[in-house]
Structure 1
């Protein structure tokens, strides 16, 4: 199964461009989408989910043009938008049965599948309570469950871990990892660690364009031997930022602890080299020369 996205453009108006000549190939497994607000991640996912139409370019699923034939992907799609809404008076069982009917999912195995999904998102104990009484994290988990109802082969998650506590985020990652061997999973998150933990490939976006796409370890190699930590005086911070990309600062009584990416592989006097991570390369690619 392959998604081939070719020269995708989305122009909202003269001032606002969502995507600009965007091309990418997505195979089975988990693709993590990273990018600042306004990078075009949600626009891309809405077009793949056939909720929005591009201004130019197209998307092929196994060679079929889904812009012209949206039903090609809709029957095999699971989509969790960022602004997922629920019916507050329904309980979890009623809600999932309603969504299943809308998706054309039925049969004798439906109740068993709903039970399995509620267990997977840790909602079995609360399944008979009205969804309106759920916390934000619980509503997000019922959203994840509805995404998986039709055993989809293309899964799109837009900020799925918002509102989830650390334990729930781990459960979500385990649930998605199990499905990724037989499906295309596109996962957008501003939590870089969620992407780093499970993504097979990472695509980094900015201003509606693709900056880079590779496996996480290959992306991290882009800045190997250039990430350092050091302590400097408070008064030296602005001068330091003019020379290097500062990733993180931690204020201490007399000094500031800094993690930075050097403009070369040379360290500042007194700095120590540290292991680079995906967050370092993400900030480097989105905040430096690009």
Structure 2
């Protein structure tokens, strides 16, 4: 299964272009989608999910035009939007049965499928409580469950780990890893470590354009030799930030261990070069494009 995106654009008016001339080939596995706010990630995912119609360009799933034939992807699609809403008076079973009916799902195996999904997102014990009493993280987990109801072959997750505690984030990553062998999974997140731990390939967007698409290894290679750490006195940190892009700091007594990008200039004295991460490469790429 493959999703081919060619010269895709979404323009709302003469002043606002959300996605501009984007081309991307997505195969089975997990594609991590990164980009700053307003980069066009959610708009791209809405077009793939056939919720928004492109202004131009093509979207083909296995050679079938999903803009002209939206049902060709909808029947194999699982989608968790960023602004996912629930019916607060329904419990988890009732809500998932309602979503299943909307998707045309039924039969003897439906209740068993719901039981398995509730177990996979750790909601079995709370399944009969009204969803309106759930925490934000629990609502997010029921959103993940509804996206998996129809055993989809194309999965789109927009900020799926928002509100999840560390244990649930690990559970989600394991769930996605199990699904990735047989499905196309597109996952957008501001938590770069989630993308780093799960994605086979990474696409980075900025201002509606695709600035890179490659394996994690190849993207991280672009940051090699440019990431350093140095131990600074507390009083020197602000001045240091005027010369270098600081990524992270950790206080140690009266000093600050500072991780930074050296972009074009020599590394600061007494610095140590450190191994680059996906987050390092993301920061470099989005600040130089």
Fold similarity call, TM over 0.5 = yes
Return the alpha-carbon distance in structure 1 between the equivalents of residues 172 and 215 of structure 2: 21
Query: Pairwise mapping of residues 210-221 of structure 1 onto structure 2 (< 5 A)?
Result: 210-221=210-221
RMSD: 1.6
Return the alpha-carbon distance in structure 2 between the equivalents of residues 218 and 116 of structure 1: 37
Query: Pairwise mapping of residues 127-146 of structure 1 onto structure 2 (< 5 A)?
Result: 127-146=127-146
Return the alpha-carbon distance in structure 2 between the equivalents of residues 231 and 169 of structure 1: 32
Aligned-partner SS, 2:228: strand
1:99 is aligned to 99
2:172 is aligned to 172
Q: Report the Cα offset of residue 250 of structure 1.
A: 4.2
Give the alignment's TM-score, normalised by structure 1.
0.95
Query: Pairwise mapping of residues 1-290 of structure 1 onto structure 2 (< 5 A)?
Result: 1-232=1-232, 237=237, 240-250=240-250, 255-264=255-264, 266-287=266-287, 289-290=288-289
Return the alpha-carbon distance in structure 1 between the equivalents of residues 193 and 68 of structure 2: 36
Aligned-partner SS, 1:275: coil
Instruction: Specify every segment of 5 or more residues in structure 2 that has no aligned partner in the other structure, as ranges.
Output: none
Instruction: Specify every segment of 5 or more residues in structure 1 that has no aligned partner in the other structure, as ranges.
Output: none
Say whether the 8 Å CA contact 1:226–1:266 is kept in structure 2: no
Q: Which moved more, 1:252-261 or 1:148-157?
A: 252-261
Give the alignment's TM-score, normalised by structure 2.
0.95
| 1:75-105 deviation per Cα after TM superposition (whole angstroms, max 9, x unaligned) | 1000000011111111111111111011011
| 1:255-282 deviation per Cα after TM superposition (whole angstroms, max 9, x unaligned) | 5432112124853210011111111001
Q: Report the Cα offset of residue 198 of structure 1.
A: 0.6
Aligned-partner SS, 2:83: coil
